[in-house]
Structure 1
Amino acid sequence: MNVAGKIVEILEEEDILDVFGIPGEQIMPLYEALSKSEINHVLTKHEQGAATAADGYARSTGKIGVCITTASPGALNTTMPLATAFKDNLPVLILTGDNELKYRGSDHFQSTPQVEMFKHITRASYNPLNGTEAMYMLRASIYELKNFPKGPIHINLSKDVLLQEEFDDFDLCYLCEDDMSNLSRAQEVIDNAERPLLILGAGAISQAQLIEDMANKYQIPAVTTFHGMGVIPERSPLNLGLCGIRATERAKYAFENADCIIGLGIKASERTLPEIPENFIHVNINRDVLVGNYPIHGSVADFLAEIKFKPVSWIEEISQIDDSYHIEGLDDESKPQAAIKRILERFPDNIVASDAGSHTTWVTLLKKSQRPRQLLFSGAMAPMGYGLPAAIGAGIATGEKVIVINGDGDFQMNLQELATLKQQDLDVIVFIINNSEFGIIRQWEESFYGMEPYQVKLENPDFVKLASSYGIDAVRVDNLDDLEMILDKDLTGPLVIEVIVESEDIPLPS
């Protein structure tokens, strides 16, 4: 067995059932081994689609999403989705092919310094020089991604390394050095608190039931980041909604009046916290993101196992705050927010994959998540073209119906993945909110630069004919009555629904 065969064997041992990618010359030994395995390889139509699908796979389940590409042209096409996974700390493994070792650093055909390029958008970028190193790096990477997911890991595999037949493999013993030294100081702050507040991020998802039970028992209110939505169901009175730039009035009040703020699995970015409070307890497995006076480097599970809470009663005070958020245009058949509201009402419990742009604002304001991982979007990097391939990854990972809400500009960034959607025959319904423009860019031009709209109008294709050319059923609607009539049906994907809307301004963060 060569290195390529052993890599596939290890992936199977680790219950990695699905991978996304496109074959090419330098990675061909790995594809030869994959062809003899039980692993489901999903052939996307562009490497950006493959890596984004791996993101959606990981984001919707917490499992490792795997992307495989050939050398430079293939590998470099993954940089945007890898940067997205890096910014949002997702467990993605990317395996790239490369030319033989003797060509490293040369101007040989399709040779670039891939490892150095990927170092800036991954947690680690490895370059094994022989089969034994490849085994160690793969096993260490999988262990890290399963137990301490802090972002994607890249392994660059030269063709001659993949073909080596003499190498050592071994059981991996890996120790993680946590730092819980501030636990007693944090406990003292919690003991003295009468107004504690939880901020829940993606790192809290694995402990969602424990956190919900604890919050209910002690009546501790919580706010969430975008990626922590649903850790406590949004129907719960203890869930005050989003914090940060899209904070609800109750969330703002709680943040400003809390005497102890506990961040569980959040990055504490400027979009989450307007400032770092003196009484902020920050728990995260990623030492690099810890801030504040009480940093706890460890898992949310370990923190909750050690810390003690007491009953509090200030949720009654918070509930007196008027938290009604008026969104204009929800009954105007020409407005995108009206269409999006009805789509979300029709699919309240489904995974929703959004994209980047003005429609995302309406989705995040209107979506009510009753469990984690119900809303997938491209987070801190926010590239366009995320929705469709991410939904493909989520559909393969979960087997559930997945709803995509795209803008017309977003959709065209990765529309080639309609072919993948059709070939995989996934229950994915794609809604294209078509206002024939880059809406949020037009709004920035007008609001902040006093410009007339410039380079934002889109001459779109016929999306219905486009989807039909891929063999996918498609329909176009231009009013709420027709949309509601379509939504009343028993809809099954693959399906594309184009919704014609007018230009509309979103509420920009202050």
Structure 2
Amino acid sequence: MNVSDRMVEILAEEGIRHIFGIPGEQIMPLYKALSESEITHVLTRHEQAAAHAADAYTRSSGKIGVCITTASPGAYNTTMALATAFKDNVPILVLTGDNDLEYRNMDRFQSLPVFDTFKHITRASYNPLNGTEAIYALKAAIYELKTMPKGPIHINLSKDVLSSEDFQDFDLCYLCEDDMSQIGDAQEMINSSEKPLFILGAGALSQCDKIGEIAHKYQIPVTTTFHAKGIISEFDDLVLGLSGIRSTPRAKYAFENSDCIIALGIKGSERTLPEIPDNLIHVNLNRDVLVGDCQIHGKVEDFLAEINFKKVSWMDEILQIDNSVYIENLDDDLAPQAAIKRILEKFGEDIIVSDAGSHTTWTTLLMKSIRPGQYLFPGAMAPMGYSLPAAIGASFATDKQVISINGDGGIQMNIQELATLKENDLDVIIFIINNSEFGIIRQWQEQVYDMKPYQVKLSNPDFVKLASSYSIDAVRVDNLSDLEYLLESDLHGPLVVEVVVRSENVPLP
């Protein structure tokens, strides 16, 4: 048995069932071992897509998403997707190949310092110099991804290390460096509070049942970040909506009037906390994102186990606030928001994956999530090209129908993954909201920079013919009645629906 054989064996033992990637020369020993295993390898057409698919695999299911690439050309192609997972704290495993150890620091074919680059866009980046270190790195990475899910972890693997039969295998023992020293202060704040408020982030997703039980028992209202939508169904009156820059009226009122804000698993960024209140209790595994005076560095589940809550009664006060968000033109032909509203009404219980662009704003404003991991989009980094490969990853992770709502600009960033979609015959429906422009950029140009639209108009291909060239069923609609008629059908993927819409400004925060 060589290092590659043992690494694949470890992955299988840890329950890894799918790996996304593209083979190449320097990673070939690992692919040989993978080919002889029961793990399913999903061949994407671009390494960025492989990492986005692994990202959504994790977001939609809570399982570890894994992607694998060869040396520098393949590895560097993942950087945008890794930066996306890093900014959104998505725990995925990234394995990259490299030239033999003796050539790492030399100007050789496909040699570049991948490790030096990746350490800036991962929570940890390992660079093993022998077989024992490689096995250690993998076990350490899996442990960290399961117990301290802060973001992507990278292991850079030289070809000779992967082929080596000289390694030691051993069990690992870890101690988590938590800091719960302010738990007493947090308890005092909660004891004296009459108007507590939960703000829930992605770091609280694993405790959704427990938090739901606490919120209902003690009548504590809940707001969420973008990535925690659905942690408690957004149809529940206790759930006030998004916090931060896209606050709903009730969430804004609660934030401004609460006497104790309990932030669980949020990053504490400016998009969620426009200001740092004095009454904030902030709990997070990641020490680097903690803000405020009462910081709890540890797991949300450990915090909840230590804290006692009391019943409060300010929900009636909050419910007096009209929580409706007025959106114009929801019944107008060719309005993107009207089309997206109908799509969400049809597929409101399925997994929805957005990209980056104006359609994401409309989707976020209009969608109510009923469970965690139902609405996926690349929030803090917001690269175009996320939705299609992410929809593929979510489809493998969950076996549920997945709906990709995309823009005509974003879809073309990774449109080659239509081949992956068709090859695996996935139940993914892609709605391309086609306004023939980069709409958000055009809006910024006009409203912020007082300039005429410049380099934002798109001369698009025929998306129906393009999808058909991949042997994927496709249809185009250009009015609301035709879209509504189509949505009355029992639709299944692979399917591409081009929805022709007009240019429309999104509501600014």
Supply the distance in 2 between the matched residues of 1:256 and 1:403 (Cα, whole angstroms). Answer: 36
User: For residue 58 of structure 1, what is the aligned residue in structure 2?
Assistant: 58
User: For residue 222 of structure 1, what is the aligned residue in structure 2?
Assistant: 222
User: For residue 441 of structure 1, what is the aligned residue in structure 2?
Assistant: 441
* Code of the aligned partner of 2:251: A
User: For residue 452 of structure 2, what is the aligned residue in structure 1?
Assistant: 452
User: For residue 40 of structure 2, what is the aligned residue in structure 1?
Assistant: 40
The reply on whether 1:85 has 2:85 as its aligned counterpart is yes
User: For residue 334 of structure 1, what is the aligned residue in structure 2?
Assistant: 334
Q: Deviations over 1:308-350 (max 9, x none)?
A: 1111111111111122211001000110000000000001111
* Identical aligned residues as a percent: 72
Report matched runs for 1:56-455 at 5 Å: 56-455=56-455
Supply the distance in 2 between the matched residues of 1:233 and 1:490 (Cα, whole angstroms). Answer: 25
CA-CA distance at 1:232 after TM superposition: 1.5
Supply the distance in 2 between the matched residues of 1:410 and 1:119 (Cα, whole angstroms). Answer: 27
Contact 1:17 1:39 in 2 (8 A): yes
* Code of the aligned partner of 1:66: V
Supply the distance in 1 between the matched residues of 2:390 and 2:198 (Cα, whole angstroms). Answer: 29
Contact 1:63 1:91 in 2 (8 A): no
CA-CA distance at 1:150 after TM superposition: 0.4
Supply the distance in 2 between the matched residues of 1:433 and 1:300 (Cα, whole angstroms). Answer: 38
Secondary structure, aligned partner of 1:372: coil
CA-CA distance at 1:485 after TM superposition: 0.7
User: For residue 30 of structure 1, what is the aligned residue in structure 2?
Assistant: 30
CA-CA distance at 1:51 after TM superposition: 0.6
CA-CA distance at 1:175 after TM superposition: 1.4
CA-CA distance at 1:178 after TM superposition: 1.0
Q: Deviations over 1:225-269 (max 9, x none)?
A: 001111111111110000100001111110011000000110010
Secondary structure, aligned partner of 2:448: helix
Secondary structure, aligned partner of 2:413: coil
Supply the distance in 2 between the matched residues of 1:5 and 1:372 (Cα, whole angstroms). Answer: 35
Secondary structure, aligned partner of 1:449: coil
User: For residue 485 of structure 2, what is the aligned residue in structure 1?
Assistant: 485
CA-CA distance at 1:33 after TM superposition: 0.6
Tell me the matched-pair count.
509
CA-CA distance at 1:149 after TM superposition: 0.5
Contact 1:429 1:496 in 2 (8 A): yes
Secondary structure, aligned partner of 2:409: helix
Contact 1:196 1:220 in 2 (8 A): yes
Supply the distance in 2 between the matched residues of 1:77 and 1:346 (Cα, whole angstroms). Answer: 36
Report matched runs for 1:494-505 at 5 Å: 494-505=494-505
* Code of the aligned partner of 1:365: L
* Code of the aligned partner of 2:391: A
CA-CA distance at 1:210 after TM superposition: 1.1
* Code of the aligned partner of 1:73: P
Supply the distance in 1 between the matched residues of 2:294 and 2:254 (Cα, whole angstroms). Answer: 20
TM-score (norm 1): 0.99
Supply the distance in 2 between the matched residues of 1:222 and 1:56 (Cα, whole angstroms). Answer: 25
Secondary structure, aligned partner of 2:325: coil
User: Structure 1 regions of 5+ residues with no counterpart?
Assistant: none
CA-CA distance at 1:288 after TM superposition: 1.1
Secondary structure, aligned partner of 2:302: helix
Secondary structure, aligned partner of 1:176: coil
CA-CA distance at 1:4 after TM superposition: 0.7
Supply the distance in 2 between the matched residues of 1:365 and 1:508 (Cα, whole angstroms). Answer: 11
Supply the distance in 2 between the matched residues of 1:213 and 1:333 (Cα, whole angstroms). Answer: 43
Q: Deviations over 1:42-98 (max 9, x none)?
A: 000000110110011011111111010000000000000000000111111000000
Q: Deviations over 1:5-44 (max 9, x none)?
A: 1110110110101000000000000001111000000000
Supply the distance in 1 between the matched residues of 2:87 and 2:62 (Cα, whole angstroms). Answer: 15
Secondary structure, aligned partner of 1:369: coil
Supply the distance in 1 between the matched residues of 2:368 and 2:323 (Cα, whole angstroms). Answer: 15
CA-CA distance at 1:105 after TM superposition: 1.3
Supply the distance in 1 between the matched residues of 2:118 and 2:491 (Cα, whole angstroms). Answer: 41
Secondary structure, aligned partner of 1:412: helix
Secondary structure, aligned partner of 2:404: strand
Q: Deviations over 1:184-224 (max 9, x none)?
A: 11000000000000001111111111111111111100110
* Code of the aligned partner of 2:13: E
Supply the distance in 2 between the matched residues of 1:252 and 1:108 (Cα, whole angstroms). Answer: 57
CA-CA distance at 1:147 after TM superposition: 1.0
Supply the distance in 2 between the matched residues of 1:15 and 1:215 (Cα, whole angstroms). Answer: 33
Supply the distance in 2 between the matched residues of 1:319 and 1:413 (Cα, whole angstroms). Answer: 43
Supply the distance in 2 between the matched residues of 1:93 and 1:234 (Cα, whole angstroms). Answer: 31
- The CA RMSD measured in Å over matched residues stands at 0.6
CA-CA distance at 1:508 after TM superposition: 1.3
Supply the distance in 2 between the matched residues of 1:121 and 1:294 (Cα, whole angstroms). Answer: 28
Supply the distance in 2 between the matched residues of 1:157 and 1:367 (Cα, whole angstroms). Answer: 42
Supply the distance in 1 between the matched residues of 2:18 and 2:232 (Cα, whole angstroms). Answer: 30
